[in-house]
Amino acid sequence: MNKRNSLLRTPYSVRISHWLVVLCFFLVAMSGLSWFFPSLNWLNNLLGGPQLARILHPFLGVVIFAFLVFMFLRLAKYNILEAEDRKWFGNLGKVLKGEHVEELETGKYNAGQKLLFWAIMGLISVLLISGIVIWRPYFAPFFSIPLIRIGLFVHALAGVLMMLLIIGHIYLAFWVKGSIDSMSTGYVSRKWARTHHPRWYRQITANRSEKEH
């Protein structure tokens, strides 16, 4: 992509964190699925076998949480819901059809992306807390059996919901052309930014103009 005709959308540190989360989440999700379905037990081999998978699964979960917290600190200010987001929801049908509504003054992230952001942060927090309750041999001995059973149920439910969210996120990333560039090169074209995130486009180009003068 010609950087003269593009804008930096995702800094390098955020991109690296994102892809490390992707890698770790894939391994954690596969090992989790292997314990739900006996026919998928072979997925444990991705982490070196059943025993090693049970050891690494919670540690990788903590790594995911740490990287997501870093991304949260960098991106939270762009994901605060605003009154303007109501228009996005009001035009959701057109948005899903790929029709661009001119009156939508979308900032760096649209309302759907903001909801995904907060849902992922909420679920990873639930997964961390419930994971600590059931984490043997380190923390589980400090909790009662009934609480551990509740923790197992909550952890499994949150894990399934997280996987569904991630699948939806991947689908939309491919559906909206140009989104993959944002997380691979970090740059998007000016046309893409102006079309999908007009308010952010004006803000970023205005800042550029001020620096040049």
**Catalytic positions:** 169
Letter string b/e over residues 130-139, b meaning 16 or more CB atoms within 10 A of that residue's CB:
bbbbbbeeee
For 170, the 3-state DSSP assignment is: helix
Residues making up the chain, counted from first to last? 213
Nearest to 198 by CA among 94, 109, 87, 96: 109
| Half-sphere exposure of residue 114: CA atoms within 13 angstroms, side-chain side | 19
From CA 130, how far away is CA 147, in angstroms rounded? 10
